[in-house]
Amino acid sequence: MTRLSAINLTLWRGPNCLFEELSFQVDAGSLLLVRGSNGSGKTTLLRVLSGLTRPETGHVEWCGESIEKTRQTFGAALAYFGHADGLKADLTVTHNLEFSAQLFGQSGEQIPGLLNALNLSQCAQLETRYLSAGQKRRTALARVLMSDAALWLLDEPVTNLDAAGREYVEDRLHAHVAGGGLAIAATHEDIRITSESPDEIFLGDGA
């Protein structure tokens, strides 16, 4: 069963407890929003869920096994859209995405179509250092969208995007979840993919 479970996660940063004994699970076909004010630990929670940061207590399980032990299967099932875009400033948009396609084991033939849909085709041959913040964000999103990963971890996926870009992301997110995927998004904006509101967890003062 495709499922991500967080079990008793606790993490302190300096004197601040970001979360304590936090447990939840996300099943196939659902979206979880992580809410909270700036600095409440949304990004850190996503990093813990991805395995980048180790929690002080507890662990994360993917399909019933700890992600520390199944790094390879978990890595193949994960698309991580982080705080940093993960783009090489000296390479063009297309080169950046081709490298990611190789990592995903894909040929990269869907890249032009994806760039078109994200309204990036005019900068496909541009080095990413010349892109605006929103365009960089879109390029990084393209990487997630072309992966066939089951689990999407998205850190502020709609920030810096214009209305059209945002709508496209929500559509794709909907399609991903409807197709049996899992998604966890840290955001301080509303993301609507269906008429009913998705599950949410609150970090920080709202907890």
Partner 1 sequence: MNLSRFFAAIVRRELQIAFKRWGDLASPLMFFVMVASLFPLALSPQHEMLRNLGPAVLWIAALLATLLSLNALFRGDIEDGSMEQLVLSPYPLALAIFGKTVAHWLLNGLPLVMLAPALAVTYYLPVEGVRALSLTLLIGTPTLSLLGAVGAALTAGVRQSGGLLALLVLPLMLPVLMFGARATDLAGSGEQITGPLYLLSALLLLALSLLPLASAAAIRISLD
CB count within 10 Å of CB 197 equals 12
**C-beta of 52 vs 133, nearer to partner 1:** 52
- Which CB sits closer to partner 1, 82 or 198? 82
Shortest distance, CB of residue 9 to partner 1, whole angstroms? Answer: 15
107 Cβ neighbours under 8 A, 6+ residues apart: 101
Shortest CB 206 distance to partner 1, Å: 26
We find the least distance from the C-beta atom of residue 201 to partner 1, in angstroms, to be 22
Q: DSSP code of 123?
A: G
Contact positions with partner 1 (CB under 8 A) in 123-182: 127, 143
Cβ count near 74 (within 10 Å): 22
CB of residue 99 to partner 1, shortest distance in Å = 6
Give the up-direction half-sphere exposure of residue 85: CA atoms within 13 A in the CB hemisphere: 22
Q: Does 51 bind partner 1 (CB under 8 A)?
A: yes
List Cα–Cα distances, 7 to 11, 20, 154, in angstroms.
12, 11, 20
Strand order in the sheet with 151-155: 78-81, 151-155, 182-186, 30-35, 199-202
Taking CB under 8 A as the criterion, which residues in 55-114 touch partner 1? 71-73, 75-76, 78, 80, 82-91, 95, 99-100, 102-103, 105
**Which residues would be at the binding site for partner 1 (CB under 8 A)?**
50-54, 71-73, 75-76, 78, 80, 82-91, 95, 99-100, 102-103, 105, 127, 143
